[in-house]
Amino acid sequence: MKLVALVAIVAALAVPGALAATPTLNGTVGPGFTITLKQNGQKVSKLKAGKYVFKIADKSSIHNFHLKGPGIDKKTSKAAVVNVTWTVTLQKGKYTYVCDPHASFMKGSFTVS
């Protein structure tokens, strides 16, 4: 009986780590002149290095979503209205995301440590 209980506890502790999902970040640009990057509804400002899934919603044919930083330079096409998913490994450093045609004010950044 005690062994069964112990096995159950060990299994319960081991499973979350084994099944830990890659964290998802939600990037949105448009339809207005806004660009955001959020995790669980909160604006992203700091992340730990590692693998992330970026779900990008490019909702406008006059904007794009362009992510740049150490090891990464990815963007959606300005003309396209698309949902894309990028699986990305973030490294230590500063990353920026901009809408290229309006980069002076449609922009954001976060740091990875």
For Cu ion, the binding residues (CB under 5 A) are: 63, 99, 101-102, 106
Q: Which of 102, 112 has the CB closer to Cu ion? A: 102
Q: Which of 55, 102 has the CB closer to Cu ion? A: 102
Q: Rounded to the nearest whole angstrom, what is the least distance from the CB of residue 68 to Cu ion in the complex? A: 15
Bridge partner list, 109: 96
Q: Rounded to the nearest whole angstrom, what is the least distance from the CB of residue 50 to Cu ion in the complex? A: 29
Q: Is 4 helix (H, G, I), strand (E, B) or coil?
A: helix
Cβ-based burial of 22 (10 A; exposed 0-12, middle 13-18, buried ≥19): exposed
Q: Rounded to the nearest whole angstrom, what is the least distance from the CB of residue 92 to Cu ion in the complex? A: 29
Separate counts of helices (H) and strands (E) for the chain: 1, 10
Q: Which of 52, 65 has the CB closer to Cu ion? A: 65
